[in-house]
Each structure stands twice: as C-alpha cells, then as structure tokens.
Amino acid sequence: MLLLTRVVLLSALCAAALGCPRIISRRQWGARPPRNRVPLRTPVPYVIIHHTAGNPCTSQASCSRQVRGIQNYHMDTQRWPDIGYNFLIGEDGNVYEGRGWSTVGAHVMYWSAKSLGFSFLGNFSSRAPNAAALNAAKSLIQCVVSKGFLSRSYFLKGHRNVNPTDCPGNALYKVISRWPRFKGKP
C-alpha cells in the first residue's frame, strides 16, 4: 500500500511539473480491461471535443460511476473493444483516462486515428461546463502537447465539425469556438 501511495504521489508530481490536470487512471475509476488496443501514431494533429449528453457529475465517485457506465455501454451495446474516448472530463475538475494518450479511440469515424477525443461528462446543450471542467480541459490540451502526443500546431474541433451531430452541445460549442487553435471547418 505504501508503494502504491508513492507511485500515485510521484505521478501527481510529474503531472504538475508538465502542467497536467489531475488524471484519474483507469485503475482508479475501475475500468474493465480492453479487448484490444490499436496504437495511435503520435503526435496527432487534432483534438475533438465531445459531451456524453448524460447526467453531470461533480465528485470523483459520481464521475467514476458515469465513466464505468459509458464504458459498459460502449463495450456491451456498441461492441467496441473499450470506452470510445481518450479522456473524459468531469465537473469535479478531474480528467478520467479512457483509451489514454497512445491508443486509437472510437469517438469519430474516419477521425479517431488522427485525433484525441476528449468528452465532457454531462449534457452541455443549454449550459456550459463549470470552470473546473473547462480549466481541466485546457490544462489537458497543454499537457498532451508537452508530452508529445499532440502536435504543437494542432487544431481543435467540436464533434459537429467532423460528423453531423449536435455534439458537443450548443453551449459547450460556443465556449470552445473561442479557444485558441479552434478550427471549425474541416
């Protein structure tokens, strides 16, 4: 147990040194093992923002439950080998590891192999995520760039920019369209 505590602490210190948000590992949120993984050729040129269109969450316990539910839906109903997103962002200010830094996601057909998919936990059609979630997402983008998994000249897109959908919700889309490196048109 002491060794695990030291590993978690060292991981947090490394994340802080790189400007990374607090990332809740798959083990910490109780992920099922993936059925397979396809390596992502990095650095990728795009970040695609989604929302889960479900209930919001504001604690690590409630966000972890939501992420497990999404993984179960993706694996059991959609028959995907794992949760579709690379990372999920809660209104508790934490980032939840999905497929992670270097595994191809299943978040947008024809785009998953050249992007990282970040999904905000909740429905953001009529309201934007809180400041904790928005700050965690911005920090995650900088973290991924600093780790070399996302190109320094990346472009940010909403899911609706690459697929006919309302995702990531009108309110969230309005926010991200003002972020640096946003490029709505394909």
- pLDDT at 3 > cutoff 50: no
Average pLDDT over residues 2-26: 59
pLDDT digits (tens, 9 = 90+) for 121-161: 999 999 999 999 999 999 999 999 999 999 999 999 999 99
pLDDT digits (tens, 9 = 90+) for 63-76: 999 999 999 999 99
First to last CA, the chain: 48
3 state SS of 73: helix
- CATH H superfamily, domain 21-176: Peptidoglycan recognition protein-like (3.40.80.10)
Q: Predicted confidence band at 80 (pLDDT cuts at 50, 70, 90)? A: very high
Domain ranges for the chain: 21-176
- pLDDT at 9 > cutoff 90: no
Q: 106 with 48: CB under 8 angstroms? A: no
Q: Please list, in sequence order, all residues whose beta carbon lies within 8 angstroms of the beta carbon of residue 19, skipping any fewer than 6 positions away.
A: 139, 142, 143, 146
Q: Predicted confidence band at 18 (pLDDT cuts at 50, 70, 90)? A: low
Q: 48 with 116: CB under 8 angstroms? A: yes
Q: What is the pTM of this model?
A: 0.90
The whole-number pLDDT of residue 19 equals: 80
Helix H or strand E encompassing 66: helix 60-72
